[in-house]
Amino acid sequence: METDKNKAIFLDRDGTINFDLGYVYRVEDWKWADEKVPQALRMFQEEGYKLIVVTNQSGIGQGYYTLHDMQVLHQHMEQELKKERVIIDLIMYCPHARDSRCACRKPRTGMMIDAERRMGGIDFTTSWTIGDKLLDMEMGQSVGTKTGLLQSKYWANTDIVNRTKQPDMIAESLYEAAKWILKARQ
Ligand SMILES: [Mg+2]
Ligand SMILES: [Zn+2]
């Protein structure tokens, strides 16, 4: 049964939405992880999911680029998506260095808790977390979302076999994930 509460797709950014070159911060380095990323996001949006980006940006804390650089890049992302009739509802980011003890760096759940509050409530149980690393899965599972793992360039190093909690789904791309999730709901 559908509830009134928001359901969301929590999206990792690098390796999920855009191709992960490592510390992506320049507009000229922005490239979709897969050409069907905008289409996948539109499919989720049309099914009533809120689209929430949840991204670790430790390059800021480490001084590789600035908060402003990231904001300019996010504006570019949003503009490109708007052309495809996709609106991102919220972008959460952790700007802290890798060794920071902040509450927000994935796999910690600070960004999820904050997003839930900012959206005026989200039903995690009907929501999904999609990313290309196990830290995305761990964060999503910690708050009770379903999880989808994408096979990006990190796939070869992804030790899924030894995990007690498996992702709910593994897909080659966000588009394949969207097809699977939306079909699975029907
Ligand atoms: Mg990633
Ligand atoms: Zn943080």
Contact present, 41 and 86 (Cβ < 8 Å):
yes
List, for residues 75-112, the tens digit of each pLDDT value. Answer: 999 999 999 999 999 999 999 999 999 999 999 999 99
Compute the distance from residue 179 Cα to the ligand 2 centre, in Å.
Answer: 32
| 168 flagged as catalytic | no
Domain that holds residue 150: 7-185
Query: What CATH number is given to the structural domain containing 160?
Result: 3.40.50.1000
| 132 flagged as catalytic | no
Residues 6+ apart with CB under 8 A from 64: 23, 25
Q: What is the pLDDT of residue 178?
A: 98
Compute the distance from residue 132 Cα to the ligand 1 centre, in Å.
Answer: 5
Compute the distance from residue 144 Cα to the ligand 1 centre, in Å.
Answer: 20
Chain-centroid distance, C-alpha 87 = 14
Could you tell me the pLDDT band of residue 25, with boundaries at 50, 70 and 90? very high
In a domain, 91, yes or no: yes
List, for residues 104-144, the tens digit of each pLDDT value. Answer: 999 999 999 999 999 999 999 999 999 999 999 999 999 99
Cα radius of gyration (the chain): 15
Could you tell me the pLDDT band of residue 23, with boundaries at 50, 70 and 90? very high
In a domain, 64, yes or no: yes
What is the pTM assigned to this prediction? 0.94
Q: How many CA atoms lie within 13 A of 149 on its CB side?
A: 22
Q: What is the pLDDT of residue 160?
A: 77
In a domain, 84, yes or no: yes
Structure tokens at 77: 């992302």
Structure tokens at 119: 């959206």
Q: Which ligand is nearest to the CA of 134?
A: 1
Q: What is the pLDDT of residue 133?
A: 94
Domain total in the chain = 1
| H-state helical runs in 16-84 | 37-46, 58-61, 67-83
CA pair distance 12, 126, nearest whole angstrom: 18
CA pair distance 39, 90, nearest whole angstrom: 18
Q: What is the pLDDT of residue 157?
A: 72
In a domain, 33, yes or no: yes
Q: What is the pLDDT of residue 186?
A: 57
In a domain, 157, yes or no: yes
In a domain, 103, yes or no: yes
Average pLDDT across the chain, whole number: 94
In a domain, 1, yes or no: no
In a domain, 132, yes or no: yes
